[in-house]
Amino acid sequence: MLQIPGGRDEALSKQSISIMALIGVPIIEHGDDVADAILKALETSNIQPLDGDLVIIAHTIVSKSEGRVVHGDEVSVSGRARKIAEQNGFDPVQVELALRESKEVIRSEGALITETKIGLVCNFSGVDRSNAPEDSYILLPEDPDWSARNILRKLIDATSVKLGIVIADTQGRPWRKGSVNLAIGSAGINAFKHNRGKQDLYGRTLKRSTVCQVDELAASAEPLMGQADEGVPVVIIRGYEYEDGSESSRGIPRPKSEDLFR
């Protein structure tokens, strides 16, 4: 058994967080059960889940298990997609799928930035060839919060411990170079941490401070997941204290009307 500090029962609680790669999750195919794969990997890794553990899952395995993988041959490319692809040197099939997954195209010159049907603003609607089977494309899960709740329910049924789930994707950002891992779905943990009413160092009440904790947790997991062939689609975070709540990851993207940065 790994001796990892930061469990709730230890004195170190609140002073240390452990991030552990879950080794041994197999390549997931359409119809495979992600929760089952995680449970088996926990067992072979000899990691006993503890109350409060967070399970951070790369969206690719969720998409694959849900059949959100499309072979290029199945896709007929529209005129609009072909034009955007030609103008930018993009893969026409990837453009076509990105358009199908989008509800609005934000930019199509130099980059294809869209707003997806669930409101994520990202490159190519999150449609990606990396870690996809030959000539195939991985789409984002249709409803990642639903996927997270579904996996969570199975994990809790099997382990009887309180867990939280974050489904993560690595995406580019406006205004800052480089991608970071962020949350596209979650369950068992509130998406935000609200510091309303807390006091600062000098005893003044903070007016309001809202941290997107699931994005920070997704970012924390990326170093162990990696983007290439590391094959670590699941990471366990232990020792992070959080509350559950009704705010899901679906609520993270700002509606256009409220986005003061646009």
As to burial, measured by CB atoms within 10 angstroms (0-12 exposed, 13-18 middle, 19+ buried), residue 113 is: buried
Counting contacts by CB under 8 A, is residue 13 touching its own copies? no
Per-residue contact flags (x/-) with its own copies for residues 23 to 62, judged by CB under 8 A: x---x-----------------------------------
Selected binder of its own copies within 181, 185, 188, 189 (CB under 8 A):
181
* Minimum distance of its own copies from residue 182's CB (angstroms): 7
Task: Please give the structure tokens belonging to residue 1.
Answer: 């058994």
Burial readout 220-256 (b: 16 or more C-beta within 10 A, e: otherwise): bbbebbeeeeeebbbbbbbbbebeeeebbbbebbeee
Selected binder of its own copies within 150, 159, 213, 248 (CB under 8 A):
213
109-138 residues in contact with its own copies (CB under 8 A) are 110-111, 113, 121, 129-134
What are residue 205's DSSP bridge partners? 199
Nearest to its own copies of 76, 260 (CB atom):
260
Which position has the token pair 């998406």? 191
* Residue 93 backbone phi and psi in degrees, to 5: -65, -40
Chain-centroid distance of CA 195 in Å reads 24
Of the candidate spans 68-76, 93-101, 160-168, 194-202, the one that interacts with its own copies by CB under 8 A turns out to be 194-202
Phi-psi region at 124: left, alpha or beta (left = phi > 0; alpha = psi -120 to 50): left
Selected binder of its own copies within 56, 62, 151, 191 (CB under 8 A):
191
Selected binder of its own copies within 44, 48, 87, 227 (CB under 8 A):
227
- Please say whether the beta carbons of 88 and 112 come within 8 A: yes
Of the candidate spans 96-104, 144-152, 156-164, 180-188, the one that interacts with its own copies by CB under 8 A turns out to be 180-188
Nearest to its own copies of 140, 150 (CB atom):
140
